[in-house]
Chains A and B, each alone.
Chain A
Amino acid sequence: MGTKLIRHALLAAGLACAASGAFAGGMASPSMLANTCAGCHGSTGNSNGPATPGIAGLSKGYFIAALLSYKYGDDEAAIEKVVAANPSVLDADVFEVLPRGKGTIMSRIAKGFEDAEIIAMADVFANERFVRHAQTTKSSLADKGAKLHEKHCEKCHEDGGRTSIDDVGILAGQWMPYLNNSLADYKDGTRKMVKKMTGKMKKLNAADLEALVQYYGSQKM
């Protein structure tokens, strides 16, 4: 009995709003929700590729922004409402949701989750470690990419693109077809970039971008 009480106390302290088993009928637990993503994004959010990204280790802010973007599209008012309703979680002064295009599989799925559920899942994935899989890359291109990254991208995508700190996506070890899709979406305007990234991207040609993707794909640790 003793251990059980402690377990409940821990859960209550940790997950104020996320209903644990004890509150059947309330919100599903964060892991119950997050486990349903595994079919496409891999167990614990670590994708085995080739095209669906790993989502383990994404920062909570990046995860929430991405899901809200898929869920609400360009309905800014709806997104502002979410921010206003969650003052203890989201920082209204900086929170920003960039358009990610319509009709993708994620825009269909994200609409199936309540805002509070999205926030709860963000915690689960932020606490997982991103696993980098071996991908085939050309070292000459990757070396070129490393230099380009250092010059143009490192400021925001720190540690060679390994972290999601500052609410950017994880680039190092991310699946290359996914990175190519993301870059193509930026290029044709389907997906919007933060202003300063747009400036950097303008300086790069297709070969540069290929080298960058090769660099990210070459990082295994």
Chain B
Amino acid sequence: MAKITRRNFIKTTGAASAIGLAGFPAIASAMKHGGGKKVVIVGGGIGGATCARYVKMADAGVDVTLIEPKANYHTCFMSNEVLGGDRPIDSIKFGYDRLASEGITVVKDTVSAIDTNAKKVTTSGGKTFGYDRCVVAPGIDFKYDQIEGYDAKVANTVTHAWQAGPQTATLRKQLEGMKNGGTVVICPPPNPFRCPPGPYERASLIAKYLQEQKPKSKILILDAKGKFSKQGLFVQGWKKLYGYGTDKSLIDWVSAEQTDNGIASVDAGAMTVTTKFGDTHKADVLNVIPAQKAGKIAFTAGLTKGDWCPVDKSTFESTIAKGVHVIGDASIATKMPKSGYSANTQAKVCAAAIVAMLNGDEPGTPSWLNTCYSIVGKDYAMSVAAVYRLGKDAKGGQLITPVKGAGGLTPKDASPEHLRRELGYAHSWFNNITKDVFG
């Protein structure tokens, strides 16, 4: 009689010989020989920094240079928790020391031009860098011309806070300074934009703060859209937590039908915002998130078609300029949302393709994943997830498409315990992805 039931599910004979080879890129690295080849990465945000690390891990012989103007990057994710007073801003700040110690050349500068024929990148600091492959990951820029009275300068006081950093701190200070009974006006952008659930998570976490500290206050969302990401779950949470739908509600959402598709103008002096329909609202704290397009360098380098950059979906190589890849928010990744997790898995697909190409191999089959957590309140978070594969659209074109029957939202009937756990998973996601990106 055996003392105990042994499980040992796996047959140890025959086909189990994959052990030892099926590793992460680091393990395969010694076998690669892209030695001396140059990869220059423009932008050290989520996409760019991930790509730098994963190229280096897959092939230590490749010479990787990352160009980024900021000494420190503030993640947009969890910046809404900063606004709600739930975490200090330094907890979303990351530097580039780890990347440098991994053998990546980090250059603090702004790329001003990319010569895709001569394969050369120029910076405003006057340096040039030749490349075999260039990765452009500049994130987003704003369409300031669409809102009268609003521009990059005004945004220093009437913030968008849609690129985390100084504006996040400013908006938090404004919320702290606001009187009990004040009105916070949030103006979300039209589609497509970075982080579709982001404005509504922001409203949620500001509501949480107001409820705790300034319960007579209100949040008014003047939307450019008629519906929004995870709307059912947000509304459910707002009803449960913030009296949504009652006359005591902390949050009011005004849809595109009532605003006539968003706001027309901002008067920063008077602290008013006027919708396209013509209603003017006075704010004590005003947060205006403009419509978006690819980061400026993508336009300068001629990588755009419309507002974003078309790419081959299996390599993220630009369909306009050979040898240049565009990843993250700036790229057209069809069904993938513009999110940090998307940028992170796109960067890995791109890195693997680049290493294959530099080694004279065919790029492999890609696979992507995205999970976006949204925090709604105390012990209350929810998520949307999808696994993405390369498919085809109706015309036979490439389509990054979610696997059918998989993914989706937190169930509507999720228990309080389930929602509490999702908050723990949201924080774990933050800790893990930031380490994966910045080392």
**Which residues on A are within 8 Å of B, measured CB to CB?**
3-4, 6-7, 10-11, 13-16, 18-44, 47-52, 59-62, 64-65, 87-91, 94-96, 103-105, 108-113, 120, 123-124, 126-128, 155-156, 166-168, 175, 177, 181, 184, 194, 196
Contact = CB atoms under 8 A, between A and B. Distances in A.
Interface stretch (B80-88, B144-152, B416-424): B416-424
Given A39-B432, A47-B432, A126 B19 contact: yes
Interface of B: 3-11, 14-28, 31-33, 54, 314, 341, 344-345, 348-349, 352, 356, 359-369, 371, 383, 385-387, 402-403, 405-408, 410-411, 414, 417-418, 421-422, 424-425, 427-429, 431-433, 435-436
Contacts of B9: 60-62, 64-65, 90-91, 94-96, 167
Contact of B15 (A89, A168, A177): A89
Contacts of A31: 22-25, 28, 352
B17 A14 contact: yes
Q: 6 smallest A-B Cβ distances: which pairs? A: A112-B387, A51-B424, A61-B9, A14-B21, A112-B406, A52-B428
Contacts of A11: 21
A13 to B, nearest CB: 8
Given A4-B360, A52-B424, A167-B9, 8 more contacts: A26-B365, A37-B369, A39-B345, A88-B15, A91-B11, A127-B19, A167-B7, A184-B417
A27 B429 contact: no
A28 B411 contact: no
A91 B359 contact: no
Contacts of B385: 105, 108-109
30 contacts: A3-B31, A14-B21, A15-B22, A21-B363, A25-B365, A31-B23, A32-B348, A35-B54, A39-B369, A39-B436, A51-B424, A51-B427, A52-B425, A52-B432, A60-B16, A88-B11, A89-B11, A89-B16, A103-B414, A105-B425, A109-B387, A109-B406, A111-B406, A112-B406, A113-B387, A123-B19, A124-B22, A124-B23, A127-B20, A167-B10
Contacts of B386: 112
B387 A89 contact: no
A87 B8 CA distance: 14
Contacts of A111: 403, 405-407
A36 B351 CA distance: 13
A127 B22 contact: yes
B407 A108 contact: yes
Contacts of A36: 345, 348, 367-369, 387
A112 B341 CA distance: 16
Contacts of A91: 8-11
B403 A48 contact: no
Contacts of B6: 94, 166
B432 A38 contact: yes
Nearest to A43: B436
Nearest to A83: B9
B424 A38 contact: no
Contact of B341 (A20, A39, A168, A196): A39
B425 A40 contact: yes
Given A90-B9, A109-B406, A128-B24, A39 B429 contact: yes
B4 A156 contact: yes
Contacts of A35: 24-25, 54, 345, 348
A19 B365 contact: yes
Contacts of B403: 111-113
Given A19-B364, A194-B5, A10 B21 contact: yes
B436 A38 contact: yes
B22, B33, B371 pick with most chain A CB within 10 angstroms? B22
Contacts of A4: 33, 359-360
Given A14-B21, A15-B22, A39 B371 contact: yes
A112 B407 contact: yes
B3 A155 contact: yes
Given A48-B428, A64-B9, A88-B15, A124 B24 contact: yes
B369 to A, nearest CB: 4
A89 B6 CA distance: 17
Given A21-B361, A108-B407, A94 B24 contact: no
Contacts of B436: 38-39, 42-43
B341 A28 contact: no
Contacts of A166: 6-8
Contacts of A90: 9-11
A42 B24 CA distance: 13
A24 B314 contact: yes
Contacts of A25: 365
Contacts of A33: 367
Nearest to B360: A4
Contact of B365 (A27, A48, A105): A27
A196 B33 contact: no
B367 A28 contact: yes
Nearest to B415: A103
A3 B33 contact: yes
Contacts of B28: 31
A192 to B, nearest CB: 14
A168 to B, nearest CB: 8
Contact of B367 (A32, A51, A175): A32
A167 B362 CA distance: 37
B362 A22 contact: yes
Contact of A51 (B23, B361, B425, B435): B425
Contact of A32 (B5, B33, B352, B422): B352
Contacts of B429: 39-40, 52
Contact of B14 (A38, A60, A65, A88): A88
Given A34-B24, A90-B9, A28 B366 contact: yes
B11 A20 contact: no
Contacts of B32: 7
A109 B383 CA distance: 12
